[in-house]
Chain A
Amino acid sequence: MTFLCATFSILLSLISVSWAAEPEVIPPGDLADSASLQEATRVLEEEVKLAAKPQTYVFMDLAANVILIKGRGVELHRSPIERWSASDLSRFAALYRLRERPQVTRRKIDPMAVAEQDPISLVDMPTTFTLKFSPPLTILVLSNTDGNPWQWTLQRGRVWWRRLTAWGQILRTGDMSPPPPSLDLTVSLDHAQSLAWTVTEGMPFLIRRPTP
């Protein structure tokens, strides 16, 4: 009996070791849960295609509340998501391409200037910005405004304005078809600027949706 128990324990530890030795990929959550496994597999299928090419890509894991910059399947940078909300997650596709990066005010070099000109840096990046994708998706990135009521008011104003213009569009055109899906993300100020800095036109974005 003891022998059987020992053998069973060894086998069990081998199984768990084999799972532990699995690569650092999208964690499927509960392997016995078909919904989370389906979602993880769906995203992993896209990631394998992306990682096969020499490029960097963004993986937004809404299940784990984290934004990862990745290349060849390797995590290059991690930004935690503080809050998020989405208009219609069921319509989210796995893969999107960024149409244009956030506007950056670049300084122009003046060859005649005597004084040294400042380069742009992370602090010059926007703290609130919209990313537009193909297929249609809009991501509004907001930075944490805790302790800054003025920033909070500005950000809320931006969110309100977006909704008002969407309603106005419906009232004007009478078009009741659902608008493209949208996602609002709140991250820390540093991570918002870092994301604005990192993303480039055409950059692939993978989105993993949470399952209950």
Chain B
Amino acid sequence: MKRVLLFVSFGLMGLFLVTLVQSSGLPLSTASTVRPATVDPVSLRTLQARYKTLAKQLTQLMPTQPYILVDTARNHLYIKRQDQVMLDALASTGSGTILDKPGESKGQWIFDTPRGEFTVQSRLTNPVWVKPDWAFIEEGLAVPKSQADRLEPGVLGEYALGFGKGYFIHGTLYTRLLGKNVTHGCIRLNDDDLKSVYRLAKVGTPIMIF
């Protein structure tokens, strides 16, 4: 029993010392760096050439035309061309909330703005919102049977840019909510910024969302 206590005490003391070292910012790992086997000069030149080739390949994959960048955590939309920021706009992105699908025990909608890389697939002027089922359900209303009852003009602003699966960059009536995560996944902008995005983005323009 004494031995066990002694073992545990030493273990805890060791952990404490390790913690102190770690919290002091000193490297804890005994293998905090890696040193592969050294190479001869010919192999080094081959390696340098390989690095340059790969670096060139990576550059060729970078967008040369303007692209849209969306920071969903800070609710900003940027248009960038290489390192140049052409537009920095306050936006509203997905709220991250969930809504149960009626009649389905496990089905639910998650209102996130999708992350990843997309492209502008459509450019619309004076878009009309075709309200999906969730828009009625979250307001406690019955889902209409007629398509005409789903149409709501004037709420999306003057322009809309579709990037797939029903997601759009569009305008808003609720400009006071810009900068907050309040949408059902779409990206909202004020009228002026929306106009700039519409002018700068073409079908095929990349949209990177993180």
**Interface residues in chain A, defined as those with a beta carbon under 8 Å from any beta carbon in chain B:** 22-23, 25, 28, 31-32, 34-35, 37-41, 44-45, 47-48, 51-52, 54-56, 69, 71-74, 76-77, 82-83, 85-90, 104, 106-109, 111-112, 117, 119-122, 152, 156, 159-160, 163-164, 167, 184, 193-194, 197-198, 200, 209-212
Contacts and interface: CB of A to CB of B under 8 A. Distances in A.
A56 B36 contact: no
Ordered nearest first, which 3 A-B pairs have the shortest CB separation? Answer: A119-B95, A23-B59, A85-B28
Interface stretch (B113-121, B123-131, B146-154, B193-201): B113-121
Contacts of A73: 58-59, 61-62
Interface of B: 11, 15, 19, 22-23, 25, 27-29, 31-36, 38-39, 43-44, 47-48, 50-52, 54-59, 61-63, 67, 69, 71-74, 95-100, 110, 115-119, 137-140, 180-182, 206, 208-210
Contact of A85 (B22, B38, B117): B22
Contacts of A55: 116-117
Contacts, number: 182
A44 B58 contact: yes
B50 A41 contact: yes
A211 B15 contact: no
**B-side binding surface: helix, strand, loop or mixed?**
mixed
A139 B58 CA distance: 27
B55 A22 contact: yes
B118 A54 contact: yes
Contacts of A32: 44
B58 A211 contact: no
A208 B76 CA distance: 29
B34 A209 contact: yes
A86 B73 contact: no
A187 B184 CA distance: 30
A119 B180 contact: yes
B121 to A, nearest CB: 13
B32 A210 contact: yes
